[in-house]
């Protein structure tokens, strides 16, 4: 099994005719993902290397039965694209777009919760999701992901940082450890999918035997995840929190990566996770080493 996406997931790419949408959409297709259509208003009836393009998401869904969407459009069009996909019945939306204003993210998130409770948004400003050997939606390089084995043990990955998502994948591949699913939730202040959403799924997934969580400074998501882990997660975990040396009051990389008033610090997050029984590494490689130790004992 895997979480959120698998070999049966049918994906459309909103923005397939654009530079980034075409590049990453075709890479996803080459990986084996079922990319069944593209959507670009005004370009319906054309195609991108054999992938049909439709004017609307509704038209694409009606023609292909797509259940997931990969959104690769500019910030000013992203909010409308997300809501269009939800209104067309898409159940899983991956939006890689960065630079969407936080107020727009909040409006879209609350609209989805209120009007489209069966639609899950991953992102925005995230690398996407990969269930190795089954489905890759977004900008993650498939070659750095180790496919899971039937006997396991296999590891689930959830990360706020895009770059550290890739490093976590590669740390495990270097050690020959299979990955069930790797989810990059993004580092914006209002993510559509959070740590707890992913931890719930990994805990329930029989193919996932252990979990790596990559967090960073800013906000309280990691502390909230620690409380959830303490009460609900029985699978062994390792973690890493980025931003140990970040100065207070200065935004570091992601829009949500800022500490203020003594809150949102790496130290506080690391302590909360350790108290929940998570093995916390001081750098990404150490988190990989800790997971290798965990896997060796399973």
**Catalytic center residues:** 254
Residue 71: strand, helix, or coil: strand
Residue 21: strand, helix, or coil: helix
- How far apart CA 292 and CA 212 sit, in angstroms, is 11
- 3-state secondary structure string across 217-282: CCCCHHHHHHHHHHHHCCCCEEEEEECCCCCCCCCCCCCCCCCECCECCHHHHHHHHHHCCCEEEC
Does residue 134 contact residue 6 with C-beta atoms inside 8 Å? yes
* Those residues with Cβ within 8 angstroms of residue 4's Cβ, 6 or more apart along the chain or in another chain: 92, 120, 122, 129, 131, 181, 183, 201
């Amino acid at each position: 099994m895997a979480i959120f996406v698998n070999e049966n997931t049918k994906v459309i790419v909103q923005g397939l005719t654009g530079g980034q949408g075409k590049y990453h959409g075709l890479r996803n297709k080459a990986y084996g993902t079922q990319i069944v259509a593209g959507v670009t208003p005004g370009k319906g009836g054309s195609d991108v290397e054999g992938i049909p393009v439709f004017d609307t998401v509704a038209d694409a869904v009606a023609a292909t039965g797509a259940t997931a969407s990969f959104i690769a459009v500019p910030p000013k069009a992203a909010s409308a694209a997300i809501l269009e996909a939800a209104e067309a019945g898409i159940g899983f939306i991956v939006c890689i777009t960065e630079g969407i204003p936080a107020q727009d993210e909040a409006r879209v998130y609350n609209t989805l919760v209120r009007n489209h409770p069966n639609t899950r948004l991953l992102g925005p400003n995230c690398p996407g999701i990969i269930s190795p050997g089954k489905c890759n939606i977004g900008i993650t390089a498939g070659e750095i992901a180790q496919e899971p084995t039937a006997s396991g043990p296999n590891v689930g990955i959830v990360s706020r940082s895009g770059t550290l998502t890739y490093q976590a994948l590669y740390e495990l591949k270097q050690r020959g450890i299979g990955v069930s699913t790797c989810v990059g939730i993004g580092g914006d202040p209002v993510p559509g999918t959070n740590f707890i959403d992913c931890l719930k799924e990994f805990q329930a997934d029989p193919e996932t035997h252990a979990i790596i969580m990559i967090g960073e400074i800013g906000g309280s998501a990691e502390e909230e995840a620690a409380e959830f882990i303490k009460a609900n997660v029985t699978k062994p975990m390792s973690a890493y929190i980025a931003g140990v040396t970040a100065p207070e009051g200065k935004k570091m990389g992601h829009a949500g990566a800022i500490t203020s008033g003594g809150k949102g610090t790496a130290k506080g997050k690391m302590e909360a996770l350790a108290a929940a029984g998570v093995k916390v590494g001081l750098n990404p490689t150490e988190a990989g080493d800790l997971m290798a130790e965990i896997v060796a004992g399973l």
